[in-house]
């Protein structure tokens, strides 16, 4: 009896398991069907979306290509209505008499010089060759100028001044250089300082940092006849200097 009951129970157990398996199979099939159905839906929707998207893309692409050929074009177009910043040093520079120069990729203002040179125009006296100006009948001129620039044997007045046309400076190869652009004289020998000056690393700005750029020129700081600066106490404060001061 007991054995029969156990058998029955086992049977029941198996049948329920088989039942469950069948059921789950069915649900799998059902879910398969519904899955394929939903797959079709998704495919259809994504197709539509794709077409829409592509057409939007195509349209917008055509639009962009028409208006801007490159990123630079785009920047230019977009900044058309951009107003320049209101900060400018123009107002402060008004009191200076400046000239514009272009050196390589740099264009900036430097102070005009001719009006600052006391003995300009030189041709007021230098209407004759130098030789004819020198003599007992002439007073000595330019006694205040004492060259202290490089080697005294190598450097002389006519390395920079044009003896045939005193109103101009001259290059080492003999071409005329305007007094307003005397940096062209200096740059021949001081290339490094000239390059630095051009880029703004040597020298000084006039007034403000706002554009337009205006920079001092070499002769604003360096006397061409005696260009180096005296070292100032206590630039080298040591026992030697202290002795000198006593
Ligand atoms: C007031 C008249 C006068 C003016 C202005 C004048 N000079 Fe002279 N300069 C002279 C006389 C005179 C001599 C020659 C006598 C001498 O050796 O001092 C001379 C000589 C020179 C010499 C040759 C110096 C030497 O030792 O060989 C140079 C260079 C020179 N002048 C440059 C200039 C320049 C540049 C200017 C203009 C910025 C100028 N001078 C303006 C009168 C003048
Ligand atoms: C390294 C180049 C150089 C040499 C060398 C040189 N000069 Fe000059 N000289 C200049 C420059 C540049 C100026 C203009 C400076 C300025 O813009 O203030 C000038 C200016 C002058 C002036 C006008 C100064 C004034 O304020 O009236 C006279 C005069 C002059 N030089 C005479 C001479 C004489 C004389 C010698 C020789 C003893 C001489 N220079 C040597 C570059 C030179
Ligand atoms: C023909 C070449 C030549 C020309 C042109 C020339 N210089 Fe010089 N300069 C020299 C030499 C060489 C020295 C000496 C360098 C040294 O002692 O290290 C010198 C020295 C100097 C010094 C001092 C350097 C120091 O270490 O103390 C200054 C500043 C200077 N020059 C500025 C100028 C300026 C500004 C001009 C234009 C007006 C000019 N030079 C034109 C050749 C030149
Ligand atoms: C705003 C003023 C200023 C201007 C403009 C300027 N310099 Fe100088 N320069 C200086 C000072 C300051 C020094 C450093 C002097 C020292 O160390 O004793 C100097 C140093 C120099 C020296 C010595 C070597 C060095 O680099 O220390 C040379 C050469 C020289 N300058 C050439 C030039 C030339 C060429 C120009 C123009 C293209 C120029 N400077 C423009 C202020 C100036």
Can you give 16-44 as a three-state secondary structure string?
Answer: HHHHHHHHHHHHHHHHHHHHHHHHHHHHH
Q: What pLDDT does residue 165 have?
A: 95
Residue with the nearest Cα to atom 39 of ligand 4? 218
The finding on whether 228 has its CB within 6 A of some atom of ligand 3 is yes
- Provide the β-strand partners of residue 214: 109
The SS3 of residue 226 is strand
Instruction: Give the distance (Å) from ligand 1 centre to CA of residue 53.
Output: 83
| Alpha-carbon gap, residue 57 to 51, rounded angstroms | 10
Task: Supply the pTM of this predicted model.
Answer: 0.78
| 169-199 per-position pLDDT tens digit | 999 999 999 999 999 999 999 999 999 999 9
**Does the residue 8 lie in any domain?**
no
Atom of ligand 2 nearest to the CA of 156: 5
pLDDT at 10 > cutoff 70:
no
Report if residue 106 sits inside a domain. Answer: yes
Q: Which pLDDT value is given to residue 31?
A: 47
Q: DSSP assignment, residue 72?
A: H
What mean pLDDT do residues 209-227 have?
Answer: 96
Which residue has its alpha carbon closest to ligand 4 atom 25? 193
92 has pLDDT over 60: yes
What is the 132 CA–ligand 1 centroid distance (Å)? 11
Contact 213, 205 (CB under 8 A): yes
Residue 233 lies in a domain: no
Estimate the crossing angle of helix 71-78 against helix 2-67, to 10 degrees: 70
Helix (H, G, I), strand (E, B) or coil at 16: helix
In a domain, 79, yes or no: no
Nearest CA to ligand 4 atom 37: 218
Rounded Cα–Cα distance for residues 163 and 166 (Å): 6
Q: Atom 10 of ligand 1 has which residue's CA nearest to it? A: 141
pLDDT at 50: 52
Name the residue range of residue 120's domain.
90-225
User: What mean pLDDT is reported for the chain?
Assistant: 82
Most confident among 117-126, 187-196, 208-217 (mean pLDDT):
187-196
214, pLDDT greater than 90 = yes
Strand boundaries in the chain, DSSP class E: 98-103, 106-111, 169-170, 176-177
User: Is there a domain that residue 218 lies in?
Assistant: yes
Length of the chain equals: 246
For residue 114, which of 161, 163, 167, 180 has the smallest C-alpha distance? 180
Q: Are 95 and 110 within 8 A, CB to CB?
A: no
In this structure, is residue 67 part of a structural domain?
A: no
- Cα 19 to ligand 3 centroid, rounded to whole Å: 107
141: in domain: yes
- Nearest listed ligand to the Cα of residue 225: 2
Q: DSSP label at 228?
A: S
What is the position in ligand 4's atom list of the atom closest to the CA of 215? 5
Cβ–Cβ < 8 Å for 171, 102: no
Q: How many domains does the chain have?
A: 1
The atom of ligand 4 lying closest to the CA of 216 is 5
**How would residue 34 be classed by pLDDT, with cut points 50, 70 and 90?**
very low
Give yes or no for residue 189 CB within 6 A of ligand 2.
no
Residue 187 lies in a domain: yes
């Amino acid at each position: 009896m007991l054995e029969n009951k156990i058998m029955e129970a086992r049977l029941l157990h198996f049948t329920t398991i088989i039942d469950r398996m069948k059921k789950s199979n069915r649900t799998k099939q059902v879910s398969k069907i519904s899955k394929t159905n939903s797959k079709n839906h998704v495919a259809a929707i994504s197709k539509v979306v794709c077409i829409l998207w592509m057409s939007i893309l195509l349209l917008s692409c055509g639009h962009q290509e028409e208006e801007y050929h490159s990123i630079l074009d785009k920047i230019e177009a977009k900044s058309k209505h951009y107003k320049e910043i209101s900060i400018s040093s123009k107002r402060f520079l008004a009191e200076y008499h400046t000239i514009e120069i272009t050196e390589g990729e740099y264009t900036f203002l430097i102070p005009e010089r001719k009006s600052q040179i006391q003995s300009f125009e030189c041709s007021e006296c230098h209407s004759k060759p130098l030789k004819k100006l020198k003599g007992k009948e002439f007073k000595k001129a330019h006694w205040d100028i004492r060259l202290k620039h490089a080697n005294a044997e190598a450097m002389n007045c006519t390395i920079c001044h044009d003896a045939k046309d005193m109103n101009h400076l001259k290059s080492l190869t003999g071409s005329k250089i305007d007094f307003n652009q005397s940096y062209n004289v200096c740059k021949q020998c001081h290339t490094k300082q000239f390059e630095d000056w051009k880029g703004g690393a040597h020298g000084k700005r006039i007034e403000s940092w706002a554009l337009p750029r205006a920079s001092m020129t070499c002769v604003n700081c360096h006397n061409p006849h005696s260009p180096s600066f005296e070292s100032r106490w206590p630039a080298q404060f040591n026992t030697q200097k202290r002795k000198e001061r006593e």
